[in-house]
Amino acid sequence: MFVLKLLTRNAMRQKLRIGLTMVGLIVAISAFGLLRTIVDAWYAGVEGTSSIRLVTRNSISLVFPLPLNYAQRMRQTEGVDGVSWGNWFGGVYINERNFFPQFAVDAATYLDLYPEYLVDASDKKAFLADRQGVVVGRKIAEQYGWKLGDQVPLRGTIYPGTWTFTVRAIYDGADARTDESQFLFHWAYLNETIKQRYGRAGDNVGFYIERLANPDDAAPVSKQLDGLFRNSLAETLTETEKAFQLGFISMTELILVAIQAVSFVVILIIMAVMANTIAMTARERTSEYATLKALGFGPAFIGWLIVGESLFIALAGGALAVAVTFPIASAFAKTMGTLFPIFFVSRETVGLQMVAAAVIGLVAAAWPAWSAGRIRIVEGLRHVA
């Protein structure tokens, strides 16, 4: 208790200097936390994947369709416990800024493959009964003020025209890592309209989702599924849901590397600022340290006084930065809308922030503590003059 009081009094001697240093620490460590949270949000889709689901797409590219009749052969494949399919819709709600994922899915089977989407039983029944019905995530429902029974018009980009849907169900995520920004409607409705407008262009899907009976069979089942359609007009590529999501992230890998690099540069800059503050403080107290040595205190005690003060300042700044990070992240998430469907400050990020604060405190005090421990008593007392 005495040591803590001593460290507090020492730290508060130069209030303006310490105040500015604390502001710098708060800004730097909260920025570090926000940047790490952005990286986590980028990978959130990967973390939310299931080991029992496979994704099958056209081997050329995701933009090329697959025939609907593949579904029956997939269901008969050993190790496959369920099959569903869907198409990316790509519609616009009011204007281009209102982006959220929209999928035309096989309603009867799709939701069964995603138990993390929690839908009220009666609402699900209403959705299945309404060909123009839609299931939306809680996040976008709250963002746009949608309620059950509301009409939602989308302007098609891939599929031209104005498409009107009725909100029949709103799903909640099973946990914080579940995407609550999906817009799911009936693939049959889309397919019927395509057939009416374009004839033979119907009965095609963008991707298939398969549920495995045993997650350990992902590799052999994937190989077996692709083997079914080898040398056909539409060969397939089957991969785990995690690998599928990582494929999208790899397209923006350089951006992620840049964000992570900036987060560490911020810490290095504040480390230099903190080191300068502690060095100035140690120089001003040279005579005090010499007096302590004259009274019999060893170099280790003096060094630990400096290290303790530096850690006290750094950890206090880190704690305040953590507290500030949560409202900043919340405001950032609201600004970004559905660009980051899953955005929250994780425990790992908070831990990294406090570790960064501790490292800053230790590194900043290393040289001043070593120098103060080597002060000669006579030279230190002479420093008064």
Percentage with pLDDT > 70 across the chain: 94
Based on the fold, state whether residues 303 and 155 are members of the same structural domain: no
pLDDT in tens, 56-67: 999 998 889 999
Task: Decide which of 179, 203, 234 is a domain's last residue.
Answer: 234
Based on the fold, state whether residues 159 and 276 are members of the same structural domain: no
pLDDT at 385: 40
User: Is residue 202 included in any domain, yes or no?
Assistant: yes
Based on the fold, state whether residues 40 and 173 are members of the same structural domain: no
pLDDT at 113: 94
pLDDT in tens, 150-159: 999 999 888 8
Based on the fold, state whether residues 77 and 191 are members of the same structural domain: yes
Span 371-379, average pLDDT: 71
User: Is residue 242 included in any domain, yes or no?
Assistant: no
Rounded Cα distance between 225 and 237, Å, is 9
The whole-chain average pLDDT of the chain stands at 87
Span 197-202, average pLDDT: 73
Q: Is the pLDDT of residue 98 over 50?
A: yes
The alpha carbon of 191 is separated from its chain's Cα centroid by a whole number of angstroms, namely: 34
Beta partners for 67? Answer: 204
Based on the fold, state whether residues 219 and 293 are members of the same structural domain: no
Based on the fold, state whether residues 26 and 133 are members of the same structural domain: no
User: Is residue 49 included in any domain, yes or no?
Assistant: no
Instruction: Select the more confidently predicted residue: 17 or 325.
Output: 325
Task: Decide which of 234, 267, 293 is a domain's last residue.
Answer: 234
User: Is residue 51 included in any domain, yes or no?
Assistant: no
Span 164-177, average pLDDT: 92
Rounded Cα distance between 34 and 39, Å, is 9
pLDDT at 148: 95
Based on the fold, state whether residues 173 and 67 are members of the same structural domain: yes
Based on the fold, state whether residues 289 and 199 are members of the same structural domain: no
pLDDT in tens, 28-55: 999 999 999 988 888 877 777 888 999 9
User: Is residue 189 included in any domain, yes or no?
Assistant: yes
Indicate the pairing of strand 207-212 with strand 161-173.
Answer: unpaired
Based on the fold, state whether residues 149 and 173 are members of the same structural domain: yes
Q: Give which of 223, 248, 221, 330 is closest to 49, Cα–Cα.
A: 248
Task: Decide which of 234, 261, 294 is a domain's last residue.
Answer: 234
Torsion angle of the four alpha carbons 318, 321, 322, 327, in this order, in degrees rounded to the nearest 10: 180
Rounded Cα distance between 158 and 194, Å, is 11
- Domain span at residue 263 reads 2-44+252-382
Rounded Cα distance between 277 and 271, Å, is 10
pLDDT at 203: 86
Rounded Cα distance between 159 and 156, Å, is 5
User: Is residue 243 included in any domain, yes or no?
Assistant: no
Q: Is the pLDDT of residue 308 over 90?
A: no
Based on the fold, state whether residues 39 and 67 are members of the same structural domain: no
User: Is residue 195 included in any domain, yes or no?
Assistant: yes
Long-range contact list for 343-347, CB < 8 A, 24+ apart?
A: 343/37, 343/41, 343/44, 344/37, 344/176, 345/33, 345/37, 346/37, 346/40
Rounded Cα distance between 177 and 173, Å, is 8
Q: Are residues 339 and 45 in contact, defined by beta-carbon separation less than 8 angstroms?
A: no
Rounded Cα distance between 54 and 75, Å, is 13
Q: Are residues 28 and 274 in contact, defined by beta-carbon separation less than 8 angstroms?
A: no
Rounded Cα distance between 293 and 328, Å, is 47
pLDDT in tens, 233-286: 899 999 999 988 888 777 777 788 888 899 889 999 888 888 888 888 777 777
Total domains in the chain come to: 2
Rounded Cα distance between 140 and 154, Å, is 14
pLDDT in tens, 124-133: 999 999 999 9
Based on the fold, state whether residues 25 and 71 are members of the same structural domain: no
Q: Are residues 207 and 104 in contact, defined by beta-carbon separation less than 8 angstroms?
A: no
Q: Is the pLDDT of residue 74 over 90?
A: yes
pLDDT in tens, 323-357: 999 999 999 888 877 777 788 899 999 999 999 99
> In this structure, what token pair is assigned to residue 36?
């790490």
Based on the fold, state whether residues 209 and 318 are members of the same structural domain: no
User: Is residue 50 included in any domain, yes or no?
Assistant: no
Q: Nearest 5°: phi and psi at 353?
A: -60, -45
Rounded Cα distance between 69 and 63, Å, is 18
> In this structure, what token pair is assigned to residue 280?
């100035």
Rounded Cα distance between 77 and 56, Å, is 14
